[in-house]
């Protein structure tokens, strides 16, 4: 029995160090401090329901599902946790808040703040906080504060915080997070803007927050007061749908009829390598298009026969009253795995929609693809925000978000 335990411990150590090497090679870990935290915290103790190999895989571990089988709590993928910790730039002695518990990420934060710092983790689900408390204690992090509460209101009894890291997907940044942020503090939050989620590193600048960096990120949605579901308009049963993150009017029947019309295609001449990310293009289209939504389809051959978007989960789509056009791609060189961006469009105005979307793809390629990232600015809703050409203004519940490009 003792020999088996020693063998398991040795295997866990080896797997943990291999995971760190993978994260460093991929660029997810950039600092010695974050690398040391990942080498130290035993991730398998926070995911006891899966084998060691899965606990140290660079993937999420699902820990709770709702009655429909949808994941509502998980141990996040290590690469994303590493990226967000790098964004946060946590240092020794800091007071930190994690919104969305699981235990493992709070333990990593505890390693970064050291014995003179303090980490608080909060979640609305008692099952989640009970689990986090139990695993933190087992792993030797009993000093981490675990709070059961709706994080919409922050955790005032442990504020102010030098760093706030949000590990659930949110639609807005509530006022409590602003007021509980210490002077010179930083918030890292996966914010949903026009349906797209980006992990924003935000610092205060007068009466607003500004991004100092952002990364593509996806999390289970926040629960409680801050929850806000997207609106789904189905076009062909459950196989094809349009997702809306705002209240723009939609003529659903006209769009369903458009899907029945022959598909128009157009190609941009803009190419990319098979492993090259193109989330910058998606964000540019969300910024530049007024009538914007996301197309999704089921992962079936029947659904693909109807629409073939760049991403089956969420592809930028341009709307008209009775037509739509969306981003696609095709392989142009199998040997080099090179692909070309294009557009598929449906409706009586399909050709015009396709031309508009192609123009925006080319504009992104020419002016923004290799330039500086977009800048997010977040204002309290009470602060008037002027509408300036070239700046997308997105009103939310508590705030107004602007996106601008250099």
Q: Give the residue numbers marked as catalytic.
A: 76
The two three-digit tokens of residue 153, written as one number = 């209101």
Six-digit token string for 370: 């290799």
Task: Dump strand ranges (E) for 2-88.
Answer: 61-65, 71-75
Cα gap 14→7, rounded to integer Å: 11
Distance, in Å, from the CA atom of 375 to the CA atom of 119, rounded to the nearest integer, reads: 29
Residue 305's contacts (CB-CB under 8 Å, 6 or more residues apart) are none
Q: Could you tell me which of 321, 236, 340 has the C-alpha nearest to residue 281?
A: 340
Residue with the two structure tokens 């519940």: 397
Could you tell me whether strands 95-99 and 161-166 are parallel, antiparallel, or unpaired per DSSP bridges?
A: parallel
Q: Rounded to whole angstroms, how far apart are CA atoms 27 and 192?
A: 24
- Lookup result for tokens 């990226």: 83
Q: HEC string of 314-375?
A: CEEEEECCCEEEEEEEEEEECCCCEEEEEEEEEECCHHHHHHHHHHHHHHHHHHCCCCCCCE
How far is CA 364 from its chain centroid? 22
């Amino acid at each position: 029995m003792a020999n088996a335990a020693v063998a398991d411990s040795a295997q866990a150590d080896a797997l943990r160090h291999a995971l760190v090497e993978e994260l460093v090679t991929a660029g997810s870990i950039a600092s010695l401090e974050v690398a040391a935290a990942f080498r130290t915290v035993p991730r398998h103790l926070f995911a006891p329901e899966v084998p060691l190999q899965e606990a140290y895989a660079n993937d999420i571990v699902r820990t709770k599902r709702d009655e429909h089988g949808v994941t509502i709590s998980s141990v996040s993928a290590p690469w994303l946790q590493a990226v967000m910790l790098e964004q946060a730039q946590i240092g020794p002695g800091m007071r930190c808040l994690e919104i969305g518990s699981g235990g493992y990420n709070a333990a990593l934060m505890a390693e970064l703040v050291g014995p003179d710092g303090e980490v608080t983790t909060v979640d609305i689900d008692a099952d989640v906080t009970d689990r986090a408390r139990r695993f933190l204690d087992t792993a030797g992090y009993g000093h981490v504060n675990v709070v059961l509460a709706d994080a919409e209101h922050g955790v005032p009894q442990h504020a102010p915080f030098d760093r706030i890291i949000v590990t659930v997907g949110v639609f807005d940044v509530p006022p409590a997070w602003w007021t509980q942020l210490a002077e010179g503090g930083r918030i890292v939050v996966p914010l949903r803007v026009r349906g797209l989620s980006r992990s924003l590193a935000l610092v205060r600048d007068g009466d607003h927050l500004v991004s100092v960096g952002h990364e593509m990120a996806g999390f289970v949605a926040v629960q409680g007061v801050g929850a806000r579901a997207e609106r789904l308009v189905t076009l062909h049963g459950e196989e094809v749908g349009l997702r809306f993150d705002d209240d723009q009017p939609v003529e659903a029947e006209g769009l369903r009829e458009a899907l029945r019309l022959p598909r128009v295609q157009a190609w941009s001449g803009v190419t990319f390598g098979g492993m090259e990310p193109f989330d910058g293009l998606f964000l540019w289209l969300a910024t530049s298009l007024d009538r914007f939504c996301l197309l999704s389809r089921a992962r079936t051959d029947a659904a693909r026969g109807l629409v073939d978007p760049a991403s089956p989960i969420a592809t930028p789509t341009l709307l008209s009253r009775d037509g739509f056009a969306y981003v696609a791609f095709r392989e142009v060189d199998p040997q080099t795995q090179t692909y070309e961006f294009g557009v598929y469009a449906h409706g009586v105005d399909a050709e015009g929609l396709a031309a508009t979307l192609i123009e925006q793809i080319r504009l992104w390629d020419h002016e923004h693809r290799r330039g500086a990232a977009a800048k997010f600015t977040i204002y309290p809703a009470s602060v008037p925000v002027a509408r300036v050409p070239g700046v997308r203004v997105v009103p939310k519940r508590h705030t107004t978000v602007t996106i601008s490009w250099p």
